[in-house]
Amino acid sequence: MGTSDSAEWQALAEHHREVGDRHLRDLFAEDPQRGTDLVVTAGDLYLDYSKNRLTRETVRLLAALAERVGLRERTEAMFRGEHINPTEDRAVLHVALRDPRTGGLDVDGHDVNAEVHEVLGRMADFADRVRGGAWTGHTGERIRAVVNIGIGGSDLGPAMAYLALRDYSDRSLTFRFVSNIDPTDLAEATRDLDPATTLFVVASKTFTTQETLTNAKEARRWLLEGLGGDEKAVAKHFVAVSTNAEKVSEFGIDTANMFGFWDWVGGRYSFTSAIGLSLMVAIGPEQYREMLDGFHAIDEHFRTAPYGENLPALLGLISVWYVDFFGAQSQAVLPYSQYLARFPAYLQQLCMESNGKSVTLDGSPVDVATGEIVWGEPGTNGQHAFYQLLHQGTLLVPADFIGFAQPNDLTHDRDLDSMHDLFLANFLAQPRALAFGRTAEEVAADGTAGDVVPHKVMPGNHPSNAIVAPKLTPSVLGQLVAAYEHRVFTQGVVWGINSFDQWGVELGKVMANQLAPKLQSGSAPEYDSDSSTNALVRYLREGRGR
């Protein structure tokens, strides 16, 4: 039976025929309580989903779909550590990474809680030593700069969160995040650093990733060149985060300086594993724990709240409503916080690597649309760039607006209140304009010339969620990320796909390895029928004088 064959799916299809064209202006006019009723809270998060093209009946039908597909049972299976990632035969237990319990969860013969807390303890000890100056470099000087080398899930989480929580970080330390194999990334990150006071955190789940290992080798060369070539320096300036002790030691990093995690942590779900080490050094173990507790609060909410009041589940179900019944292909994420500038990029991996799938768990083709293109930029910058399309374009782009009541007070000695009010006024104005628009009559009433009127009409009926919290704190960041993790899980269960593998990225990696020698040697064999790649190889080889 296909996903779309169930009675619950068919009921939604029928319901869409009835309400899909209704305008938000009318939905609000008919239901005066809408703006206060179609909201849910979870932890410190407040979700207003009233500006979506749905009714209370839609929510009921979506919740029924969630029950039908067994979202509750799948969630429990995830929390129990069952192997819900069948193509890799793995458990999916990122929720255990933030569980405050120090024992009790036995998975595949291991006390998962105990192992998590053992690593967290080692991380805290290390972070305190770096922050306090007890961890010194090869020349005896204290560490002043931490460079995280990793890519994908081994970069985006800590890089996004470091930026988000900068106001909580130790400002006497410099943090850089290097991911790209483009040699300029590492060169720019290290050009003003002193090798004697720089620490590299090499973060890779597999410790086989081409980009990370290549950057790490180059970083080691840079370090040794700067410190007179003594190999012993490596132990003082390199630590590793990985599941692969053998490869770490092969690389030349002492496994005593390795922080481990487990195959049941997916790369894009790994930021609360030891992958968060550089972030912990930045904000300190206590605030890091506050962040983990924020994650945990939403994990528990997701596990227990009924779907009509379940914030992450509602986010996921509403997105299914748009992707599958309205044909929406993208989802904008618009944080009104410059600190969250990398949040959309982080979500791109989380959402698109998880749910960019076209077969169901049993390998048969999906019969409904899956995934969505996630993109965004912080407001208000985006307003002056791409919002025009959101307001007057022909595409349906559901948007998540994220905002905070209080600003993070950067300098702690000036009043940012009125500036933040202006910021929040924009945060409120945009979803309002998107939802309600401006009619031709309203435009004409302003005295606009007749032929210009259609150009100024704002059709409205563009849906959005508003997610607000008192302030961007470590805990709130954890809550926000956990909410999106479970949103992705909800979607994946409804679509019947495996949200936890990523076979699609492998082919490109294999081809890159095949192409590298072709760029280096003029006599390398060419592909038979791919005249495009052959010509590009020739162009690039010539451009490099080969």
Binding site for ligand F6P (CB under 6 A): 151-154, 204-206, 209, 212, 267-268, 353, 502, 505
Q: Single out the residue of 53, 40, 494, 504 nearest to residue 309, CA to CA.
A: 40
Q: Single out the residue of 305, 306, 271, 313 nearest to residue 291, CA to CA.
A: 271
Catalytic residue at 353? yes
Q: How far is the CB of 352 from ligand F6P (least distance, A)?
A: 11
The CA-atom distances, in angstroms, between 18 and each of 54, 65, 321, 443 are 11, 18, 14, 30
What is the crossing angle of helices 7-19 and 56-68, to 10°? 160
Query: In sequence order, what DSSP letters do the residues of 249-266 get, joined into one string?
Result: HHHT--GGGEEE--TTS-
Query: Which single residue brings its beta carbon nearest to ligand F6P?
Result: 267
Ranges of beta strands (E only) in 9-152 are 39-42, 45-48, 106-107, 110-111, 145-149
Q: How far is the CB of 295 from ligand F6P (least distance, A)?
A: 18
Give the CA angle between residues 388, 28, 26 to the nearest 5°: 80
Q: How far is the CB of 160 from ligand F6P (least distance, A)?
A: 13
Q: How far is the CB of 150 from ligand F6P (least distance, A)?
A: 6
Cβ–Cβ contacts within 10 Å for residue 305, how many?
17
Distance CA 310, CA 213 (A): 41
Pick the catalytic residue from 15, 205, 301, 353: 353
Q: How far is the CB of 259 from ligand F6P (least distance, A)?
A: 13
Q: How far is the CB of 344 from ligand F6P (least distance, A)?
A: 17
Helix (H, G, I), strand (E, B) or coil at 27: helix
The residues with which 283 forms a beta bridge, in sequence order, are none
In the bound state with ligand F6P, the residue whose beta carbon lies nearer, of 3 and 244, is 244
Q: Which residues contact 428 (CB under 8 A, 6 or more apart)?
A: none
Q: Single out the residue of 529, 527, 528 nearest to residue 537, CA to CA.
A: 527
What is the crossing angle of helices 474-495 and 56-68, to 10°? 70
Catalytic residue at 509? yes
| Active site amino acids | 353, 384, 509
